[in-house]
Amino acid sequence: MSRRHLRIIKRIFGLYLPLTAFLFFALFPFYWMFISSFKTNPELYNLRAKRLLINNPTLEQFRELFRKTAIIRWLWNSFFISFLTSTISMAFGIMAGYALARLKFPGAEAFGLATFITYLVPTTLIFIPLASVVKSLRLTNSIWALVVTYPTFLIPFCTWMLIAYFKSIPKDMEECAMIDGCSRIGAMVRIVLPMAIPGIVFCGMFSFTLSWNEFVYALTFISSTTHKTISVAVPTELIRQDAYFWGELMAASLIGSVPVALLYSFFMDYFVSGLTAGALKG
């Protein structure tokens, strides 16, 4: 065997085969979700059919879904909440992140430490008492309960990411601007923010995704059908008394997954650079 052959064999076993296995593991559930939502009910539950393919493609599941359920409403709730909370968290995160990266004031270090720790606090640690706080704010069963509580895990995330980002921007330009009579806030808005756009975009879209995907708070604080978000509504509203309508369930899961998948395919480069920066610094 020539050396070239040896190299090809090494490449197949050392790269392509294992990589294909990983890709199969990662993607098969999505493939199954996709084809299950375009099958008719008889085909879904026919064990003799060629199950890995679609034999009679149909939109029946989607039609039923839109006719019978409030899926449009759930999508809108998710979108509204995610947009609002990621905007709020980004704004507060930019402010706090800038203060911690650039300004020296007593307590700054303690606050930075506190943000870092709260970034690690799992939602399942405090969801029970938070339900009673939400109740005393008279927000139970309203989407505002989520608008108010989601920033508690989004702001620490944004702040922590943006501290690292702001620190990587050289100080000289804003100092020049301040000597020229610009205020601290003016320098931040006009000089630093435009330079930090990649970091801010990453924070925004990641916060959006985190809100869109959140489950525990949405499950706990909201019980009426019309106020649910898509990630909670599909598993709770579409499964009725242990009856599973798999076609509709998969169609709804597909619809609920597409927005975040699209969002992140557009911003893939921001995403990977932001994620890796965060992993290395955070």
Partner 1 sequence: MTSTARMERLSLRRWAARVIRSDSITGYGLISPALFLMLLLLAYPFVLAVYISLTDRILGEPGEFIWLRNFLKLFQDKFFLETVRNSFIYTISTVSLKLVLGLVLALLLNQEFPHKNLVRGALLLPWIVPTSLSVLTWLWMFDSLFSVINYILLGLGIIPKKIPWLGDPFWAMVSVIIVNTWRGLPFFAVSILAGLMAIPQPLYEAAKVDGAQPFRQFWHITLPLLQPVIAVVVLFSTIWTFADFQIVYILTHGGPINATQIFATMAYDVALVAGRIGEGSAISLFLFPALLVVVILMLRYLRRD
Judged by beta carbon, residue 179 or residue 279, the one nearer partner 1 is 279
Q: Which is nearer to partner 1, 66 or 92 (CB)?
A: 92
CB of 94 vs partner 1, minimal distance in Å: 9
Reduced to 3 states (helix: H, G, I; strand: E, B; else coil), residue 101 is: helix
* Nearer of residues 204 and 256 to partner 1, judged by Cβ: 256
Task: Classify residue 280 by burial, with Cβ atoms within 10 Å: 0-12, 13-18, 19+.
Answer: exposed
Rounded-to-integer distance, Cα 239 and Cα 251, Å: 13
Contact 150, 89 (CB under 8 A): yes
Answer whether 69's CB lies under 8 Å from 135's CB: no
* Sign (positive or negative) of CA dihedral 121, 123, 125, 131: positive
Is 169 or 216 the residue whose CB approaches partner 1 more closely? 216
Distance of closest approach, residue 206 Cβ to partner 1, in angstroms = 10
Least distance to partner 1 from the beta carbon of 227, Å?
Answer: 17
Q: Which two tokens stand for residue 6?
A: 């040896």
Q: Are 185 and 60 in contact (CB under 8 A)?
A: no
Query: Shortest approach of partner 1 to residue 1 CB, angstroms?
Result: 20
d(C-alpha 102, C-alpha 195), whole Å: 15
By beta-carbon proximity to partner 1, the closer residue of 29 and 57 is 29
* CA distance linking residue 63 with residue 248, whole number of Å: 9
Give the residue from 144, 272, 253, 146 showing the smallest Cα distance to 205: 272
What is the DSSP code (8-state) at residue 180? T
Smaller CB distance to partner 1: residue 8 or 22? Answer: 22
Nearest distance from residue 234's CB to partner 1, in Å? 6
In whole angstroms, the minimum distance from the beta carbon of 148 to partner 1 comes to 7
